[in-house]
Structure 1
């Protein structure tokens, strides 16, 4: 799969170019259009007010799928070569090739979340991962021994060689490892982080949802 973007950074759209018979998974509500002949197969049933993933499969001549985030913002593609993975915030996936695997119970998360399912998933394999960014995208490259603290709501992804520590923002406030509420993340390099300048929760409140 090849990814071409347009209307970035404010209203990003990603065009997924598929080889003959190639499949990609994306949220069904993210689809804008497809070339004629692309087969769409929903995975499960949509609940009230929520979308479901769908598998888009190109025909014998290939095809394309246009997808876009629910909120104004950028789209960003991470290409994985199988040698390393990325830790990605749940809900930020826009599309993923069938050759990639997502694991919410990756052993590297045990020091962050214990036995619970946290607000991150780990992506491994070979292929492309398209992320939806709320607002503009910032890339932070940490040198060895360099540190940064990030609000989980503004975190999009980080390379899995980056060291991460989760702690409470305030001992008296509510905290949730499932959403990141009341928590902050400390990162140590070397590694790469992707952050977003807005948060989906704040954007939804601003739009009156």
Structure 2
């Protein structure tokens, strides 16, 4: 699968170019259009996105699928080669090739969330992951020994070689590892961190969702 983007960074659209017979999983509600002949197969809810996923399969001549985020913002593509995984915010993925696996119970999350289901998923394998960014995207490349702190609501993802620690902003305030409320993430380099300039919750409130 190849990905071409347009209308970025404000109103990103990702075109997924599929080889003959190639399939990709994407959020059903994210589909804008497809080339004629692409087969759409709805799937049961996997708990990873804002709606039920679907599998899009190109015909004998190949084809394309246009997908777009629910909120105004950028789209970002991560190509994984099997040597390194990525931790991404739950619900941020738009499309994923069948050769990738998303796991909310990745052992690396145990130090962050304990036994609870947190606000992140871990993607591994070889293939392409397309993410929805709320607002504009910032890519932060951390040098060895460099530290930053990020609000979980503004986090899009980070490479899993980046050291991460989750802590409470205030011990007396409400906290949730499922949503990131009342928490902050500390990162230490080397590694890469992706942030988004708007938050899905604030954008939903603004648009009356």
Please classify the TM superposition score into its range, dividing by the shorter chain length: over 0.9
Looking at structure 1, the residues matched to 44 and 165 of structure 2 have their Cα atoms a distance apart, in angstroms, of 35
- Counterparts of 1:34-113 in structure 2, within 5 Å, are 34-44=34-44, 51-113=51-113
Q: Please list the CA deviations of residues 101-159 of structure 1 after superposition, one character each: whole Å capped at 9, or x if unmatched.
A: 00111111010001111000000000000000000000000000000000000000000
Looking at structure 1, the residues matched to 195 and 91 of structure 2 have their Cα atoms a distance apart, in angstroms, of 14
Q: Please list the CA deviations of residues 10-51 of structure 1 after superposition, one character each: whole Å capped at 9, or x if unmatched.
A: 0000000001111111110000000011000000269xxx62
Post-superposition, which runs of at least 4 consecutive aligned residues in structure 1 deviate over 6 A?
none
Alignment match, 1:190: 190
Looking at structure 2, the residues matched to 36 and 187 of structure 1 have their Cα atoms a distance apart, in angstroms, of 45
Looking at structure 2, the residues matched to 52 and 116 of structure 1 have their Cα atoms a distance apart, in angstroms, of 23
Give me the CA root mean square deviation: 1.1
> Normalising to structure 2: TM-score of the pair?
0.97
Runs of 5+ unmatched residues, structure 2: none
Alignment match, 1:134: 134
Alignment match, 1:30: 30
- Counterparts of 1:153-192 in structure 2, within 5 Å, are 153-192=153-192
Runs of 5+ unmatched residues, structure 1: none
Looking at structure 1, the residues matched to 139 and 103 of structure 2 have their Cα atoms a distance apart, in angstroms, of 23
What is the total number of aligned residue pairs between the two structures? 206
Looking at structure 1, the residues matched to 208 and 21 of structure 2 have their Cα atoms a distance apart, in angstroms, of 41
1:63 deviates by: 0.4
Alignment match, 1:10: 10
> Normalising to structure 1: TM-score of the pair?
0.97
Structure 1 residue matching 2:127: 3-state secondary structure: strand
Looking at structure 1, the residues matched to 23 and 160 of structure 2 have their Cα atoms a distance apart, in angstroms, of 26
Structure 2 residue matching 1:26: 3-state secondary structure: strand
Looking at structure 1, the residues matched to 93 and 182 of structure 2 have their Cα atoms a distance apart, in angstroms, of 23
